[in-house]
């Protein structure tokens, strides 16, 4: 298994009031191997989207990736890259799909233009050749009547088709990693399944590694090889998918599973996780999940728990020491 | 009242708003209170020897070609310019609000007719409308000048207010009032008007700068405030003859215009951001 | 699209018609008798006044005068100038090129320098460049164009003797001079008036462009463009500006009246032989056919400008073009 991505101690900071800096991504580490799919799961505001943007250093100013972060794409040290070097890895080594295809596509250019542009940014081909390749990409992502759609504008396409165009754009430069940030959240339920199926197929045929970012546990099952659960800027639990689903260990993960409504059997009440995700300014000292945790004890207020790497599970919780 | 005070208060908190408001207040205060302490703006003490003198202790801004003290003329001119601006703008936003409210609420033919009229009038730049009326007239008294300037400045405001009314008309509290049988007049006065005060305030503050420039321009063409009453535009016109020998005669009134318009625009900008934060 | 074009053009025609009527009404509304003004400035014998009155149709009813007015318009006859004694149309045609040259130059400066500065400001938001340019543009916008013109004329033209401060050409060169020398001469004369008129308008363009650009740069498709691996220049100009251009385009429609108004003062200050100074002359001489003719032309220009802008918008924005 070749390692295509290695992320160590990734920290993204933003300036807040009074000159302080907050870190919505605070010490995230994970790896990705060729052909592997990893899911990054968490509620909105936990820092998962920022994590994905940080991989190619697309954090919008005044945000910053902490220079001590480690991001290695194979042999390439992303933190050491500047200008042209960064441009070359974007799209070519890492392809990105974003959440809302309506606003993520430029309204004044055709689908073909936008795909062709992604190709020509990295390969020295003619416009005609780029157009050919774009056509093939559109067919590959399963767009019917691809030739006509090549010259369509985003507002002329349905939500599902737009997202397929976005996937085509992400794949255009033949990257080794595909980052999909909530790829189905903005789509109708019926379309969601189609898009996920397209992603599966492409991943298999191209042998890519996929980082799937989502808040929906349902998408993860059967698709991801491993799952990392994020909360308040940190990974709180990481395990292979079957293991996580069978034995969720972190109280937050347990809460996530518990809050998914079950259709089988009688249900009296839903069991949400109490409270809501606090903004970085309001993170408590000690464990960040403590205010919402049903299993908190005094150690949880004193110090933030470290990530304990176990044989099957990685977990960030004081309960881990007790071997829960 | 709070509808008006709130944006002003918020605008005051921004550096732009505060700078604009302060400068404007200083200028207004100077215009109102300083002339009694200054020399007579109409006096020509020594047309032979005292003309075209540069800035000195006796005449801080120098004298013009008729030996009149420039500083006192600038200060007195401020009175006229600010008064004209305030009243004309008041007139403009009143007419604009009225037309906008009626057009927006009545809709139908009334709306179509009014807006076609507004479009046609907007095709003629405001200056030209005033040229057409003023050029053919006798020496126009200042009050009539103010009325004319005010009567030409409501077009844009009426469009904005109409837009607001069209939007507000769909709001639930308006529909509720109508369902309860409130008369059209009551709906307009009680529900629509208060919500248009914000955009009106913006139109007013930004309009002040426009009127000052317009009035100065008209005076420069000899059509505005008539001599010997001092006006900034008129002073610049007179200074044209002695541009080389006495540049200060034209420089200072111009600077006065720039400062006043700039501060009015700064304040207007800040108020606009306070009323509609989306556009920041 | 075609139907929209037809409707929009019809709308423009109606607007123009209303403007026309308004111009006529405004002039007749003005208290006082134009000929009384005329004889005030230079005493005329009663018989001549009566003859003039008959010639200009002032002795007939308002409705008849309006009829003559419309009839004349239909034939392209805008009357005879009282002061110059020549057809208004030929006078305006004579002065048109100078105004087009000045206006065209200012337009060009606006859509190059104004746009470029506005985009530059947006990219360097909050920095020293952005803030100083904002202050400069606000100051520029607050300046009366005639005053700025005089200041520049005095400083650059008279004090430092760098550029000519009046007229369009050196009278000594004249029409007999060599074309290249003439062109250069006209160019030199063009600099100060164009600069004066540009200062105010560029200020407005810059602000609009900056605002529009800032809004677009925040949008998700800009992130997509960068994530594809496009260079900064392509992202800024090809993706962002292409969308941020629209508000500036609409600005053109609103801004034409500003340009026209400004050129009245600037042409007057610099004795630039265009339509603006012609209007000022007409005002000075109470020459109402001339003033009416110029106002008419201005209204036509403004309405056409607005129509062209809407058209350009419709062509350039595929969301409008294909609906």
**Residue from A108, A111, A174 to probe the interface with C (highest C Cβ count within 10 Å):** A108
Cα–Cα separations (whole angstroms), residue C172 to B81, C169, C175, C176 = 43, 8, 9, 9
pLDDT at C52: 64
pLDDT at B274: 82
Asked if B222 and B228 count as a contact pair (C-beta separation under 8 A), the reply is no
> What's the residue count for chain B?
280
Percent of chain B with pLDDT over 70: 98
pLDDT at C267: 93
* pLDDT grade for A324, boundaries at 50, 70 and 90: very low
Predicted confidence (pLDDT) per residue in B158-186, tens digit: 988 888 888 888 777 777 888 888 777 77
* pLDDT grade for B206, boundaries at 50, 70 and 90: confident
* pLDDT grade for C40, boundaries at 50, 70 and 90: low
Q: Please tell me the distance in Å from B244's CA to the nearest CA on chain C.
A: 7
Q: Inform me whether the pLDDT recorded for C155 exceeds 80.
A: yes
pLDDT at C55: 60
- Rounded to an integer, what distance in angstroms lies between the CA atom of residue B265 and that of residue B11? 12
- Note whether A108 contacts C223, CB cutoff 8 Å: no
Is any Cβ of chain B less than 8 angstroms from the Cβ of C29? yes
Of B82-86, B150-154, B171-175, C234-238, the poorest mean pLDDT is in B171-175
Q: Please tell me the distance in Å from C251's CA to the nearest CA on chain A.
A: 20
Mean of all residue pLDDT scores within chain C: 83
pLDDT at C323: 62
* pLDDT grade for B197, boundaries at 50, 70 and 90: confident
Average pLDDT value for residue range A179-208: 86
> What's the residue count for chain C?
323
Q: In this complex, which of C226, C229, C319 lies closest to A92 when CB atoms are compared?
A: C229
- Rounded to an integer, what distance in angstroms lies between the CA atom of residue C118 and that of residue C207? 6
Is any Cβ of chain B less than 8 angstroms from the Cβ of C123? no
Cα–Cα separations (whole angstroms), residue C120 to A266, B28, C241, C264 = 62, 37, 11, 31
Question: What is chain C's alpha carbon radius of gyration, rounded to the nearest angstrom?
Answer: 24
Percent of chain A with pLDDT over 70: 98
Predicted confidence (pLDDT) per residue in A48-97, tens digit: 889 999 999 998 888 889 889 999 998 889 898 888 889 999 989 999 99
Bridge partners, residue A68, by sequence: none
Q: Please tell me the distance in Å from C224's CA to the nearest CA on chain B.
A: 24
- C94-99, long-range: CB < 8 A, 24+ apart: C95/C273, C95/C274, C95/C275, C95/C277, C95/C278, C96/C274, C96/C275, C98/C168, C98/C267, C98/C272, C98/C273, C98/C274, C98/C275, C99/C263, C99/C267, C99/C274, C99/C275, C99/C276
Q: Which of A12-21, A314-323, C86-95 has the largest mean confidence?
A: C86-95
Higher pLDDT, C89 or B138: C89
In the three-class reduction of DSSP (H, G, I as helix; E, B as strand; rest coil), residue A64 is classed as strand
- Rounded to an integer, what distance in angstroms lies between the CA atom of residue A57 and that of residue B81? 56
Residue B16: both structure tokens together = 């732009």
- Note whether C30 contacts B244, CB cutoff 8 Å: no
φ and ψ at A60, to 5 degrees? Answer: -70, 135
pLDDT at A323: 46
Of A271-275, C207-211, C269-273, the poorest mean pLDDT is in A271-275
- Rounded to an integer, what distance in angstroms lies between the CA atom of residue B201 and that of residue C30? 32
* pLDDT grade for C32, boundaries at 50, 70 and 90: low
Predicted confidence (pLDDT) per residue in B57-101, tens digit: 777 888 877 878 888 889 989 999 999 999 999 999 999 999 998
Predicted confidence (pLDDT) per residue in C259-280, tens digit: 888 899 999 999 899 999 999 9
């Amino acid at each position: 298994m070749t390692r295509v991505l290695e992320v160590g101690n990734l920290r993204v900071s933003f300036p807040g009031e009074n000159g302080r800096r907050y870190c919505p991504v605070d010490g995230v580490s994970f790896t990705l191997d060729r052909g592997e799919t990893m899911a990054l799961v968490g509620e909105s505001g936990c820092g998962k989207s920022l994590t994905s943007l940080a991989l190619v250093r697309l954090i919008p100013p005044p945000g910053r990736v902490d220079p001590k972060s480690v991001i290695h794409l194979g042999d390439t040290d992303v933190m050491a890259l500047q200008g042209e070097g960064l441009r070359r890895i974007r799209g070519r080594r890492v392809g990105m799909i974003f959440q809302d295809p309506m606003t993520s596509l430029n309204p004044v250019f055709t689908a073909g233009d936008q795909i062709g542009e992604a190709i020509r940014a990295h390969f020295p081909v003619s416009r005609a050749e780029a157009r050919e390749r774009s056509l093939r990409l559109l067919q590959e992502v399963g767009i019917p009547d691809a030739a006509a759609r090549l010259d369509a504008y985003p507002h002329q396409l349905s939500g599902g088709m737009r997202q397929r165009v976005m996937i085509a754009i992400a794949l255009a430069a033949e990257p080794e990693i595909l980052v999909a940030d909530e790829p189905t959240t903005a789509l109708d339920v019926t379309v969601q399944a189609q898009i996920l199926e397209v992603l599966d197929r492409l991943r298999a045929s191209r042998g890519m590694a996929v980082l799937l970012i989502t808040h929906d546990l349902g998408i993860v099952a059967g698709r991801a090889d491993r799952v990392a659960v994020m909360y308040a800027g940190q990974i709180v639990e990481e395990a292979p998918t079957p293991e996580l689903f069978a034995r969720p260990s972190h109280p937050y993960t347990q809460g996530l599973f518990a809050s998914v409504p079950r259709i089988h059997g009688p249900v009296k009440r839903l069991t949400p996780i109490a409270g809501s995700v606090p903004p970085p300014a309001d993170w408590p000292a000690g464990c960040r999940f403590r205010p919402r945790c049903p299993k908190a004890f005094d150690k949880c207020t004193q110090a933030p728990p470290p990530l304990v790497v176990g044989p099957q599970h990685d977990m960030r919780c004081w309960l881990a020491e007790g071997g829960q | 009242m709070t509808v008006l005070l709130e944006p002003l208060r918020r605008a005051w908190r921004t550096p732009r708003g505060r700078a604009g408001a302060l400068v404007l207040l200083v200028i207004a205060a100077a215009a109102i209170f300083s002339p009694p302490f200054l020399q007579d703006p109409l006096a020509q003490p020594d047309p032979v020897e005292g003309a075209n003198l540069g800035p000195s202790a006796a005449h801080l801004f120098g004298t013009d070609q008729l030996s009149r003290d420039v500083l006192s003329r600038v200060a007195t001119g401020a009175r006229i310019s600010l008064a004209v601006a305030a009243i004309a703008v008041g007139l403009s936003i009143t007419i604009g609000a009225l037309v906008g409210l009626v057009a927006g609420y009545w809709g139908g033919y009334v709306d179509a007719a009014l807006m076609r009229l507004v479009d046609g009038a907007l095709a003629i730049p405001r200056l030209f409308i005033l040229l057409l009326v003023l050029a053919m007239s006798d020496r126009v008294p200042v009050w009539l000048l103010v009325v004319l300037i005010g009567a030409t400045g409501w077009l844009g405001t009426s469009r904005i207010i109409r837009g607001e009314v069209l939007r507000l008309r769909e709001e639930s509290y308006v529909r509720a009032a109508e369902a309860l049988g409130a008369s059209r007049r009551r709906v307009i006065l009680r529900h629509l008007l208060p919500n248009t005060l914000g955009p009106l305030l913006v139109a007013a503050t930004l309009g002040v700068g426009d009127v000052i420039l317009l009035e100065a321009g008209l005076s420069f063409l000899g059509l505005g405030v008539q001599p010997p009453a001092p006006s900034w535009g008129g002073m610049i016109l007179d200074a044209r003859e002695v541009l080389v020998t006495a540049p200060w005669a034209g420089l200072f009134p111009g600077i006065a215009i720039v400062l006043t318009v700039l501060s009015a625009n700064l304040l207007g900008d800040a108020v606009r951001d306070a009323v509609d934060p989306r556009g920041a | 699209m075609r139907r929209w074009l037809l409707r929009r053009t019809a709308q423009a025609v109606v607007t123009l018609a209303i403007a026309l009527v308004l111009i006529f009404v405004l002039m007749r509304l003005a208290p006082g008798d134009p000929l009384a003004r005329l004889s005030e400035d230079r005493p005329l014998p009663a018989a001549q006044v009566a003859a003039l009155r008959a010639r200009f149709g002032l002795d007939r009813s308002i409705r008849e005068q309006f009829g003559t007015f419309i009839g004349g318009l239909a034939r392209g006859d805008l009357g005879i100038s009282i002061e110059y004694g020549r057809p208004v149309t030929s006078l305006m045609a004579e002065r048109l090129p100078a105004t087009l040259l000045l206006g065209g130059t200012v337009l060009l400066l606006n859509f190059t320098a104004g746009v470029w500065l506005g985009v530059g400001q947006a990219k360097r938001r909050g920095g020293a460049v952005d803030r100083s340019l904002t202050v400069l543009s606000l100051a520029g916008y607050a300046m009366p164009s005639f005053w700025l013109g005089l200041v520049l004329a005095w400083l650059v033209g008279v004090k430092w003797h760098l550029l000519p401060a009046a007229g369009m050409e050196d009278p000594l060169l004249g029409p007999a001079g060599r074309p290249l020398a003439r062109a250069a001469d006209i160019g030199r004369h063009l600099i100060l008036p164009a600069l004066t008129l540009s200062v105010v308008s560029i200020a407005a363009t810059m602000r609009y462009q900056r605002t529009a650009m800032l809004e677009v740069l925040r949008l998700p498709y800009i992130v997509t463009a960068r994530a594809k691996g496009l260079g900064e220049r392509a992202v800024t100009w090809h993706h962002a500006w292409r969308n941020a251009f629209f508000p500036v385009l609409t600005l053109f429609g609103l801004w034409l009246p500003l340009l026209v108004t400004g050129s009245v003062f600037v042409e007057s200050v610099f004795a630039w032989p265009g339509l603006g100074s012609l209007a000022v002359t007409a005002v000075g001489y109470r020459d109402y056919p001339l003033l009416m003719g110029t106002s008419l032309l201005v209204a036509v220009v403004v309405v056409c400008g607005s129509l062209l802008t809407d058209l350009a918008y419709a062509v350039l924005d595929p969301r409008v073009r294909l609906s």
